[in-house]
Chains A and B, each alone.
Chain A
Amino acid sequence: MLSAVGIAACGDDDDDAGSDATTGATAGGELTIYSSLPLQGGLRTQSAAMVNGIRLALKEADNKAGNFTIKYESLDDSTAQAGNWTPEAVSANARRAAQDDSTAVFIGEFNSGASAVSIPILSDAKVPQLSPANTAVGLTSDEPGAEPGEPAKYYPSGFRNFVRIVPKDTIQGAALATVMKEDGCTKVVLANDKEVYGAGLARNVVAAAEAQDLEVLFNEGIDPRAANYRALASRARGQDADCFVFAGTTPNNAVQIFKDFGAALPEAKLYGPDGVSDSAFADEGEGGIPAAIASRTKITVATLAPASYPPEGREFFRQYAEEYEERQPDPYAIYGYEAMRLALDAIERSETGEREDIVKALFDTEDRTSVLGTYSIDDNGDTTLTDYGVYTIDGGELKFDQTVTAET
Chain B
Amino acid sequence: MASASLTGARAAAPARVVRAFLDKYGLICLLLVMPVAFGIHDLRTEGDLSRLGNNLLDGLSNGSIWALVAIGYTLVYGIVELINFAHGDVFMIGSFTAAGFFGTIGLTAATGVPGLIAGLLLTLLVAMLASGSLNLMIERVAYRPLRGAPRLAPLVAAVGFSFILQNVGLLWRGGSQQGIVDLINSQKELVMIAGVSVTHGDTLAIAVTIPLVLAMTLFISRTRLGKAMRATAQDPDAARLMGINVDTTISATFLIGGMLAGAAGLTYALYQTTVWYFQGFTAGLIAFTAAVMGGIGNIRGAVLGGLIIGVIQQISDNRIGSQWTPAIVFAFLVLIMVFKPSGLLGEETREAG
Task: Decide if A and B touch, CB cutoff 8 A.
Answer: yes
* Stretch in contact with the other chain, from A91-99, A116-124, A175-183, A246-254: A246-254
Q: With contacts A45-B175, A234-B318, A251-B177 known, is A256 near B323, CB below 8 A?
A: no
**Cβ contacts under 8 Å, B272 to chain A:** 227-228, 256
**Cβ contacts under 8 Å, A286 to chain B:** 178
**Cβ contacts under 8 Å, B188 to chain A:** 263
**Cβ contacts under 8 Å, A209 to chain B:** none
- How far is the CB of A106 from the nearest CB of chain B, in Å? 24
- How far is the CB of A352 from the nearest CB of chain B, in Å? 41
Asked whether A221 lies within 8 Å of B179 as measured between CB atoms, the reply is: no
A360 at the interface (CB under 8 A from B): no
Asked whether A263 lies within 8 Å of B279 as measured between CB atoms, the reply is: no
Asked whether A220 lies within 8 Å of B174 as measured between CB atoms, the reply is: no
A235 to B320, CA, bound (A): 11
CB closest residue in chain B, given A289:
B179
Q: B residues 265-298 with Cβ under 8 Å of A?
A: 268, 272-274, 276, 278-279, 281-283
Contact with A along B87-101 (1 / 0, CB 8 A): 000000000000000
Q: A residues 60-80 with Cβ under 8 Å of B?
A: 80
Contact with B along A274-289 (1 / 0, CB 8 A): 0000001100101111
- How far is the CB of B99 from the nearest CB of chain A, in Å? 9
CB closest residue in chain B, given A80:
B163
Asked whether A221 lies within 8 Å of B318 as measured between CB atoms, the reply is: no
Main secondary structure of the interface of A (DSSP, over half): helix
- How far is the CB of B313 from the nearest CB of chain A, in Å? 8
Q: With contacts A227-B283, A255-B274, A260-B187 known, is A221 near B322, CB below 8 A?
A: yes
* Stretch in contact with the other chain, from A36-44, A337-345, A387-395: A36-44
Q: With contacts A227-B62, A256-B274 known, is A287 near B282, CB below 8 A?
A: no
Count A-B contacts at CB 8 Å: 111
Asked whether B318 lies within 8 Å of A290 as measured between CB atoms, the reply is: no
Asked whether A238 lies within 8 Å of B187 as measured between CB atoms, the reply is: no
**Cβ contacts under 8 Å, A160 to chain B:** none
B325 at the interface (CB under 8 A from A): yes
Asked whether A287 lies within 8 Å of B318 as measured between CB atoms, the reply is: no
Asked whether B282 lies within 8 Å of A288 as measured between CB atoms, the reply is: no
A232 to B322, CA, bound (A): 7
- How far is the CB of A90 from the nearest CB of chain B, in Å? 19
Asked whether B317 lies within 8 Å of A43 as measured between CB atoms, the reply is: no
From the candidates A194, A232, A234, A254, name the one contacting B177 in the complex (CB within 8 A).
Answer: A254
Asked whether B278 lies within 8 Å of A231 as measured between CB atoms, the reply is: no
Asked whether B279 lies within 8 Å of A227 as measured between CB atoms, the reply is: yes
A287 to B100, CA, bound (A): 12
A44 to B315, CA, bound (A): 33
Q: A residues 237-279 with Cβ under 8 Å of B?
A: 238, 250-251, 253-256, 259-260, 263-264
From the candidates B178, B273, B283, B318, name the one contacting A231 in the complex (CB within 8 A).
Answer: B318
Asked whether B180 lies within 8 Å of A287 as measured between CB atoms, the reply is: yes
Asked whether A231 lies within 8 Å of B175 as measured between CB atoms, the reply is: no
B182 at the interface (CB under 8 A from A): yes
**Cβ contacts under 8 Å, A223 to chain B:** 322-323, 325-326
A59 at the interface (CB under 8 A from B): no
A222 at the interface (CB under 8 A from B): yes
A100 to B97, CA, bound (A): 47
From the candidates A44, A255, A290, name the one contacting B178 in the complex (CB within 8 A).
Answer: A255
* Stretch in contact with the other chain, from B50-58, B117-125, B226-234: B50-58
Asked whether A225 lies within 8 Å of B187 as measured between CB atoms, the reply is: no
A4 at the interface (CB under 8 A from B): no
- How far is the CB of B193 from the nearest CB of chain A, in Å? 15
A226 at the interface (CB under 8 A from B): yes
A41 to B273, CA, bound (A): 22
A229 at the interface (CB under 8 A from B): yes
B314 at the interface (CB under 8 A from A): yes
B217 at the interface (CB under 8 A from A): no
- How far is the CB of A311 from the nearest CB of chain B, in Å? 33
A80 to B182, CA, bound (A): 33
Asked whether A255 lies within 8 Å of B55 as measured between CB atoms, the reply is: no
A230 at the interface (CB under 8 A from B): yes
CB closest residue in chain B, given A225:
B282
> Given A255-B177, A255-B178, 18 more contacts at CB 8 Å?
A43-B175, A45-B175, A45-B176, A194-B323, A222-B322, A223-B323, A227-B62, A230-B58, A231-B315, A231-B317, A231-B322, A232-B322, A255-B179, A256-B274, A263-B187, A284-B179, A287-B174, A287-B176
Task: List 6 A–B pairs whose Cβ atoms lie within 8 Å, in order of A's numbering.
Answer: A220-B323, A226-B313, A231-B315, A232-B318, A287-B173, A287-B179
The 8 lowest CB-CB distance pairs between A and B, nearest first, are A287-B178, A263-B187, A231-B317, A231-B318, A221-B323, A251-B176, A231-B314, A42-B175
Chain A interface residues (CB < 8 Å from chain B): 41-45, 80, 194, 220-223, 225-232, 234-235, 238, 250-251, 253-256, 259-260, 263-264, 280-281, 284, 286-290
